[in-house]
Amino acid sequence: MTVHLVASCTDRKRSKVPPELRLRELAGGSVNERVRGWLTTLSNSATPALPARELYGGEHWKLILELESELRETRGNIELSVASAGYGLVSADAHLKPYSATFAGRQPDSVAQNQDDRSSTWWDGLCAGGESPNSLQTLMSGAEGLVVIASAKYLRAMLPDLLLARATLPDPGNLVVFAGSKVDELEKSLIRVDARVQVALKDVGADRLRGTKQGLAARTAKELLCQTKTWPPTAAVLSEAYERLVAGVAPPEALDRERHEDDDVSAFIAKALDENPRAGWTNLLRTWRAQGQACEQSRFRRLHGEVKARRS
């Protein structure tokens, strides 16, 4: 009985991304033209490749690997794949070159160049045109279940493929999706992880459940999947387990922080680096937020990298 675990990739890579494998360097054109150009660039690059499970870093990916390991010990046949904006759907054991591409908007290496670009077209092009053509639908051939842990942006890109995969399963209820945002088309499959679970998991008092908001969906999936007695897992059973977990829990108090344009954040980073050239982005972000200022983690990290690059 095979259950597939599919997790979105992460921005953080354990190997340096060469300039040519940053999506921002790709020439313009239609989505299909850009997909073909990107796949050619990947194929022609001489950059050494690493197994996907070794390439990605960060809390989200660490939790995914821990979840895979625990489920293999207790449940048997678990297959881990990555939903990648650079490679499409690939096995965690596939060798990938370090790259920078994302389905998130307003990023230099975002798939969408404008509001008319369809991320699902990019996803379909990657899955069909890669070295090992694959899709979520074909992945489900002979499988009993599918668990997906991804952001809404990635789910939107995969949505047509994901709906076909659900229809391919012996029981559509065996598609389980963990995400932090609502996706109407996946309502029956979705475990929507909200801010209440931050409090609920913290109250459990176990170190294994502590972490950042970026790893929240993966931590919740790990908690529920490793405890459920129903296998393959079902969305209905896990939804009930999630509601029990957050029952009576109030969401954490929202922080009233002021948002700033990129130039303001970059100026703060530049000044901090003048004082300490080795200052890391995590400590600087903590200082920035302590002053009552708002900035998303990925955005702050990107700006920190850009400021350092200009100074080198």
Mean pLDDT, contiguous 10-residue spans, the chain (312 residues): 92 91 89 93 95 93 95 92 95 95 85 78 90 84 94 93 95 95 93 80 54 79 93 95 84 61 85 89 88 83 87 72
Structure confidence at residue 208 (pLDDT): 47
Structure confidence at residue 253 (pLDDT): 59
Residue 65: name the closest of 149, 138, 127, 156 by CA: 149
Residue 251 lies in a domain: no
Structure confidence at residue 258 (pLDDT): 65
Structure confidence at residue 115 (pLDDT): 65
The CA–CA distances, whole Å, from 123 to 87, 133, 170, 203, 306 equal: 9, 12, 25, 39, 28
Domain check: are 218 and 293 in the same one?
no
Structurally, the chain folds into a number of domains equal to 2
Q: Phi and psi (nearest 5°) for 34?
A: -70, -35
DSSP strand pairing (50-51 vs 3-8): unpaired
HEC readout, 27-55: CCCCHHHHHHHHHHHHHHCCCCCEEHHHH
Q: What's the CA angle centered on 169, arms 164 and 171, to 5 degrees?
A: 120
Q: pTM, whole model, 2 decimals? A: 0.81
Helix axes 235-246, 196-204, angle to 10 degrees: 80
- Give the chain's radius of gyration (CA, Å): 20
Helix axes 119-129, 152-168, angle to 10 degrees: 60
Structure confidence at residue 11 (pLDDT): 86
Spatial distance between the Cα atoms of 50 and 59, rounded to a whole number of angstroms: 19
Spatial distance between the Cα atoms of 78 and 82, rounded to a whole number of angstroms: 13
Residue 50 lies in a domain: yes
Which uninterrupted H or E stretch holds 69?
A: helix 59-75
Largest CA distance in the chain: 60
The residue type of 24 is R
Domain check: are 276 and 239 in the same one?
no
For 115, other C-beta atoms within 10 Å of its C-beta total: 6
Please confirm whether the linkage preceding 232 is cis (ω < 30° from 0): yes
Domain check: are 299 and 225 in the same one?
no
Domain check: are 240 and 263 in the same one?
no
Domain check: are 83 and 44 in the same one?
yes
DSSP strand pairing (50-51 vs 95-96): antiparallel
* Of 189, 219, 246, the domain-final residue: 246
**Under DSSP, is residue 229 helix (H, G, I), strand (E, B) or coil?**
coil
* Of 246, 276, 292, the domain-final residue: 246
Q: Phi and psi (nearest 5°) for 123?
A: -60, -50
Domain check: are 227 and 270 in the same one?
no
Q: Which residues lie across from 6 on neighbouring strands?
A: 81, 148
Residue 252 lies in a domain: no
Range of the domain at 216: 3-246
